[in-house]
Structure 1
Amino acid sequence: MTFQQLKYAVEVAKCRSINKAASNLFVSQSSISSALKELESELAISIFTRSNQGVELTSEGRQFLSQANSLIQRYEYIQSLYASEQVASELQFSISTQRYPFAVDAFVQLVNRIDDPRFNLTIRETSMDKVIDDIYTSVSDIGVIFTSNLTEKMIKRFLQTRNIEFHLVKKIQPCVYVRKGHPLSGSLSLKAEQLTDYIYMAFEHKQGESIDFSEEFNLIASRQPNKVIVVNDRATAVNIVCNTDAVSTGSGLLVKEFMDDRIMSIPLEGYSDKMNLGWIKLKNRQLGEEGALFVNLLHESIEKAILFTEKVRAQSRS
């Protein structure tokens, strides 16, 4: 199968006529007919039905054309990127992160620091297993995840098999997220056992994936909650915590620029375990100027979030 055959099929489908398609593409009708016959033979399907009124797509043909159109569009996009030597090269940089507002804050600061005339920056907020997969497949340059004493051994072994290195940024005391006015909101600290009677909010992760890849801090010492809500994006999570008596666990770090002032976090006591916040990349991949800048900004954003979180807690106690 060639791109030329795909282009012929797409044009014939658009024109509903081999003769008109041949005229538009400046080729002979017999060339298109032969190319389509070879394509149908190779794929063992009939793409078109032919009659005196022209050609019509078969059901198999419609399915094939939906894929062919995507390939053609991607092919033309790649051609356009490199067709002109006059066009300046485009800065490309991508980040995948667990659902951390401080990572988004660092990304925003990065955007404001870049002065290139052309760039394509990407940030993906997703589950830990997807962050690791994005780094492994080079979809992203840098990933932001956490480990704990409990999960560190397993996760680092998993990273090592994929030639990925983990760089620690900060060790954080795990915390509980609650709304202001929650029955637990007046506590200076909380124990895991105090959470079991409340709805526990968790982020969705791949079915069958180890609990070590959970977004939340693992409350292994506590019994499983009776009521659980599972979500897959940070905005929904914040709204649920702010409008119900649901609780969740995590770093507890609040970022001023991205904070809903109805939410607060309370340190989780009784754990010597910490959340090890850090970033990952492929071992053989150079960090680059943008990567180095993002890492510096990530350090700054986490430190800034720590100070702001302490300020919010002090105000709630006064």
Structure 2
Amino acid sequence: MTFQQLTYVVEISKCGSINKAAHKLFLSQSGISTAVRELEEELGIKFFVRSNRGVEFTPEGKEFLGYAVSLLEQKQRIESLYGESRSTIAPVHFSVSTQRYPFTEDAFLEMLQQNQENRYQYTLKETSMDGVIDDVYDHRADIGVIFLTKLTEKIVCRLLDARELTFHELAAVPPCVYVRKGHPLTQLEHVSEADLEGYPYSSFEQAQGVAVDFSEELPMVSMRKPSKAIIVNNRSTAMNVLANTDAYSTGSGLLAEHLSPANVVTIPLADKDPVRLGWIYPQNAKLSSHAEGFVRLLEQSIQRSIAYTSSLHRQIVGK
């Protein structure tokens, strides 16, 4: 399969006729027909059928067109970015993929404020843990931010090893529950799994077939099949649900001043192993200068979040 063949198929779809496509491309009709036929034989499908009115694409042909157009657009974009005629300096690219942590957003904002590049494209993507791992493995992200627990470490690290990625710990913190201010659970200094019974459990949507070990929330046996469940897919909605209902969620419990809603607080979970927060990166690969800078900002941001969250815990206990 060649880009030339893809161009022929797309042009035929636009013109509705092999003859018109050949005329527009300054080629012979037989030449285009032969190239398209060879591609059909290679892929084992038929793109279109001919009629007196021109050509009519088959269902398989229509599906193929979508991919062909996308590939040709990507080719054009690559050529425009890296072609010999390009005279401008390429922008700096840096991408972060993270589970939904406010301290990562805080570090990202700090990076933007410190940035002195003339041209850049910075990306921050919040997604599930398996999504973060995929992004770093497929080079869609330079740095990934995830968490490990004693229960999930074995299976997650096995996947990281298989993909030649390394986890670098930033901090270990006690797991917490997230609730609204004034929630009945805020009367407690520590919360047990038994204390959570009867309250709605809010969690992030997970792709079908993904193991619970890769969930955003702290894995707990009692939460596998809660009697009341609220499922969301972004951090803003999750925080609004917590702030306006009696629902709760679980996780690191870290909040960021000025970024986390003021009416959501966290309470430590009793008798639970620490949550290990960290960043992932390809094994034996050298950090770029931008990645090194971002890791430093992450280290600073997570310490600020720990200090801020601890102060909120003291306020709850001392009220």
Deviation, 1:224, is 6.0
Deviation, 1:219, is 3.2
Equivalent position of 1:185 in the other structure: 186
Instruction: Tell me which amino acid in the other structure corresponds to 1:94.
Output: S
Deviation, 1:163, is 1.6
- Answer yes or no: is the 8 Å Cα contact 1:129–1:206 preserved in 2: no
Q: Residues 82-128 of structure 1: CA distance to partner in whole angstroms, max 9, x if unpaired?
A: 11342312322221111111111111222232222332222221111
- Answer yes or no: is the 8 Å Cα contact 1:47–1:61 preserved in 2: yes
Instruction: Tell me which amino acid in the other structure corresponds to 2:231.
Output: V
In 2 relative to 1, CA 279–66 (structure 1 residues): closer, same or farther, beyond 3 Å? same
- Supply the distance in 2 between the matched residues of 1:221 and 1:245 (Cα, whole angstroms): 18
- Secondary structure (helix, strand or coil) at the match of 1:257 reads coil
Q: Are residues 1:123 and 2:124 paired?
A: yes
Deviation, 1:4, is 0.6
- Answer yes or no: is the 8 Å Cα contact 1:22–1:29 preserved in 2: yes
Equivalent position of 2:271 in the other structure: 270
- Answer yes or no: is the 8 Å Cα contact 1:136–1:282 preserved in 2: yes
In 2 relative to 1, CA 246–66 (structure 1 residues): closer, same or farther, beyond 3 Å? same
- Supply the distance in 2 between the matched residues of 1:153 and 1:106 (Cα, whole angstroms): 28
Equivalent position of 1:13 in the other structure: 13
* 1:38-57 correspondence runs (5 A): 38-57=38-57
- Answer yes or no: is the 8 Å Cα contact 1:254–1:308 preserved in 2: yes
- Answer yes or no: is the 8 Å Cα contact 1:202–1:229 preserved in 2: yes
- Supply the distance in 2 between the matched residues of 1:150 and 1:37 (Cα, whole angstroms): 55
The gaps in structure 1 that reach 5 residues or longer are none
- Answer yes or no: is the 8 Å Cα contact 1:106–1:298 preserved in 2: yes
Equivalent position of 2:176 in the other structure: 175
* 1:19-34 correspondence runs (5 A): 19-34=19-34
- Secondary structure (helix, strand or coil) at the match of 1:93 reads strand
* 1:133-148 correspondence runs (5 A): 133-148=134-149
RMSD: 2.2
Instruction: Tell me which amino acid in the other structure corresponds to 1:181.
Output: G
- Supply the distance in 2 between the matched residues of 1:222 and 1:16 (Cα, whole angstroms): 57
Deviation, 1:141, is 1.6
Deviation, 1:243, is 1.8
Equivalent position of 1:226 in the other structure: 227
- Answer yes or no: is the 8 Å Cα contact 2:107–2:301 preserved in 1: yes
In 2 relative to 1, CA 17–211 (structure 1 residues): closer, same or farther, beyond 3 Å? closer
Number of aligned residue pairs: give it. Answer: 317
- Supply the distance in 1 between the matched residues of 2:112 and 2:188 (Cα, whole angstroms): 38
- Supply the distance in 1 between the matched residues of 2:41 and 2:214 (Cα, whole angstroms): 46
- Supply the distance in 2 between the matched residues of 1:239 and 1:14 (Cα, whole angstroms): 47
- Answer yes or no: is the 8 Å Cα contact 2:170–2:299 preserved in 1: yes
The gaps in structure 2 that reach 5 residues or longer are none
Deviates further, 147-156 or 218-227: 218-227
- Supply the distance in 2 between the matched residues of 1:16 and 1:247 (Cα, whole angstroms): 57
- Supply the distance in 1 between the matched residues of 2:223 and 2:52 (Cα, whole angstroms): 74
- Supply the distance in 2 between the matched residues of 1:20 and 1:112 (Cα, whole angstroms): 54
- Secondary structure (helix, strand or coil) at the match of 1:170 reads strand
Deviation, 1:159, is 2.0
Instruction: Tell me which amino acid in the other structure corresponds to 2:94.
Output: F
- Secondary structure (helix, strand or coil) at the match of 2:19 reads helix
Deviation, 1:223, is 9.0
Equivalent position of 1:305 in the other structure: 305
Equivalent position of 2:105 in the other structure: 104
- Supply the distance in 1 between the matched residues of 2:94 and 2:313 (Cα, whole angstroms): 36
Equivalent position of 1:63 in the other structure: 63
Equivalent position of 2:74 in the other structure: 74
Give the TM-score, by structure 1 length.
0.91
- Secondary structure (helix, strand or coil) at the match of 1:184 reads helix
- Answer yes or no: is the 8 Å Cα contact 1:175–1:250 preserved in 2: yes
- Supply the distance in 1 between the matched residues of 2:100 and 2:66 (Cα, whole angstroms): 34
- Answer yes or no: is the 8 Å Cα contact 2:80–2:86 preserved in 1: no
Deviation, 1:221, is 7.9
Equivalent position of 1:237 in the other structure: 238
- Supply the distance in 2 between the matched residues of 1:136 and 1:33 (Cα, whole angstroms): 41
- Supply the distance in 2 between the matched residues of 1:60 and 1:95 (Cα, whole angstroms): 37
- Answer yes or no: is the 8 Å Cα contact 2:171–2:276 preserved in 1: yes
Give the TM-score, by structure 2 length.
0.90
Equivalent position of 1:3 in the other structure: 3
In 2 relative to 1, CA 223–131 (structure 1 residues): closer, same or farther, beyond 3 Å? closer
Deviates further, 114-123 or 163-172: 114-123
- Answer yes or no: is the 8 Å Cα contact 1:196–1:223 preserved in 2: no
In 2 relative to 1, CA 37–241 (structure 1 residues): closer, same or farther, beyond 3 Å? same
In 2 relative to 1, CA 52–209 (structure 1 residues): closer, same or farther, beyond 3 Å? closer
- Supply the distance in 2 between the matched residues of 1:171 and 1:41 (Cα, whole angstroms): 57
Equivalent position of 2:254 in the other structure: 253
Instruction: Tell me which amino acid in the other structure corresponds to 2:75.
Output: Y
